[in-house]
Amino acid sequence: MAKKYRVAVVGAGLVGKKMVEILLERNFPLSSLRVLATRKREEIIAGQKFLVEETTPESFREIDLALFAGTEGEKGASRTFARKAIAEGTIVIDNGSDFRLEPDVPLVVPEVNKAALKYHQGLIANPNCSTIQMVMILAPLSATFGLNRVIVSTYQAVSGTGREAMDELENQIRAYCSGQTLSPQVYPHPIAFNIFPHIGGLSQEFPGYFAEEVKMIKETRKILNKPDLPISATCVRVPVFNGHCESLTVELKKPANPEEARAILSRMPGVKIVDDPERNEYPLPTAASGKDEVLVGRIRANPIFQFGLDLWIAADNIRKGAALNAVQIAEEMLAQGLL
């Protein structure tokens, strides 16, 4: 009989609930599934009633695998509990940003760098949502044509901030349509019918850059094992409920026309080409929401760089950008005999 695993999901917000849902829908071999959070309560998750338990160091006794949902921009529960869980023999997959850049922690997108998993020491990091969808496109292009530099602008949905941000967008839309004043609580400015290039705090290491932009730069270099890769990122919050989009410009080392790029990307697992502008077909956040694939289109020659391409990407930031990627890491660890 195939081995089954005692699994805990730490966090019961958008990402934590989606982790539970994906573990169940993909039939991960579970002998038990527990949900841990900051306080005890009952929650309906994936149509089932779960008793959410308060997280303590003792929670990880007799747990084989813990998925930490994490919260972008905040110190996650993994900072408090991950090392204690590992000491109990638990393998930790962390969606938060606390450990991503530590040299002894693999930062993994399974379709891109699954070999890094064999070097884990009990802890594996899930990359930032915007980084994940970008490296899914960069990796096959880099492997075939080489990569000189990357310029990216993101258009990030409010679900990346959590349920409170989604509620804020909905409430502000209602207020706007009723002629009421828009009062931001989650964000520094109203998000309804507005955009702002501000995600995370300002960086001291990269003057003028916000934290999300620095994450994309440093995480991409680590995942692709290109520590000196020139990358420029501008990250923008937009009034979309779910699904991040990215405008991506790459300068390659070898010539690549759009047809060659489409052929390469069409063979990349987890990538779907949506590229027929004459029929108004290109990646949309509404089309990506709820889907596992990273959508890519508007693939065209860049007129500035000799070997340049411009592309447009969309992906569900809660699924592939967070929960699904974490579960795929666990599945890959099973495949490699690492669990």
Longest dimension (CA), the chain: 63
Q: Where are the alpha helices (DSSP H) in 88-210?
A: 110-113, 129-145, 163-177
Residue type, 34: R
3-state secondary structure 100-111: CCCCCCCECCHH
Q: In whole angstroms, what is the distance from residue 313 CA to residue 298 CA? A: 9
The answer to whether residue 129 is catalytic is: yes
- In 3D space, the residue among 223, 215, 218 whose CA is nearest the CA of residue 139 turns out to be 223
CA distances in angstroms from 307 to 68, 226, 263, 310, listed in the order given:
40, 19, 17, 11
State both tokens at 217.
């730069």
The DSSP symbol for 248 reads E
The answer to whether residue 245 is catalytic is: no
Which is the catalytic residue, given 120, 235, 244, 245?
A: 244
Find the distance separating the first CA and the last CA of the chain, reported in whole Å: 16
- Tell me which residue has tokens 């520094």: 188
Which is the catalytic residue, given 129, 189, 198, 235?
A: 129
By annotation, the residues acting in catalysis are: 129, 244
